[in-house]
Amino acid sequence: MIPARTWVSVLFLVVIGIALFALVLVSEENWRAARTLARCESSLRAAGENLDFECFIPPQVPDAENFAAAPVMSELVRVAQDEKVASPVRTERLRKILGKEKKAVPSANSGDFLLGKRIDLEGWRRALCAGASSPNEKLTDVATAEKILECMQTLAPEMAEVTKAAERPFARFPIDYARGPMMDLRHGTVLLHLSSLFSVRALAELYAARPGEGFRDLQTLLRLQHALQPEALVISHLVRLVILARTEQVIWEGLLQRSWNDAQLEDMQRSLSAIDLLSDYQNVIRGERAFSRITYQLVRDSRRRDKGKIEALHFFPAFPTALRSLSRLSASRAFVDQNEATQEQWMQDFILAAIEPKIHRVLRAKSERLNEEIKRSSWGPYAVFAKITLPIFSLATSGTAAAAAALDEASTAIALERFRLTNGHLPNDLAELVPNYLPRVPTDVMTGETLHFKKDGVADYRLYSLGWNLRDDNGAVVLENSHRREDEKGDWVWPSRAAAASGTLAADSASR
Of 233, 260, 287, the last residue of a domain is 260
Q: pLDDT higher for 494 or 385?
A: 494
Of 194, 228, 260, the last residue of a domain is 260
Give residue 430's pLDDT: 96
Lowest mean pLDDT among 79-93, 181-195, 342-356, 462-476: 79-93
Same domain membership, residue 100 and residue 52: no
pLDDT > 70? residue 61: yes
**Is 112 inside any structural domain?**
yes
pLDDT tens string 418-448: 999 999 999 999 999 999 999 999 999 999 9
Pair 252, 413: CB distance under 8 Å: yes
Closest CA to 499 of 460, 457, 455: 460
Q: How far apart are CA 18 and CA 181, in angstroms?
A: 39
Q: Which segments of 380-504 are extended strands (E)?
A: 452-456, 460-465, 477-480, 484-490, 492-494
Lowest mean pLDDT among 247-261, 267-281, 286-300: 286-300
Count of domains in the chain?
A: 2
Same domain membership, residue 96 and residue 51: no
Q: pLDDT higher for 187 or 328?
A: 187
Lowest mean pLDDT among 36-45, 281-290, 396-405, 427-436: 36-45
Give residue 319's pLDDT: 44
Pair 105, 155: CB distance under 8 Å: yes
Same domain membership, residue 361 and residue 254: no
Q: pLDDT higher for 90 or 209?
A: 209
Q: How far apart are CA 246 and CA 236, in angstroms?
A: 16
Of 194, 225, 260, the last residue of a domain is 260
Dihedral sign computed on CA atoms, order 496, 498, 503, 507: negative
Domain, as residue range, for 416: 32-57+278-456
Same domain membership, residue 327 and residue 238: no
Closest CA to 446 of 354, 353, 512, 372: 354
Q: How far apart are CA 222 and CA 226, in angstroms?
A: 6
Give residue 142's pLDDT: 94
Q: pLDDT higher for 410 or 511?
A: 410
Same domain membership, residue 408 and residue 375: yes
Q: How confident is the model at residue 464 (pLDDT cuts 50, 70, 90)?
A: very high
Number of neighbouring beta carbons within 10 Å of residue 458: 9
Q: What residues have CB less than 8 Å from 458, skipping those under 6 apart?
A: 425, 426
Mean pLDDT of 166-195: 91
pLDDT tens string 446-460: 999 999 999 987 788
Mean pLDDT of 35-50: 90
Say what the pTM is: 0.89
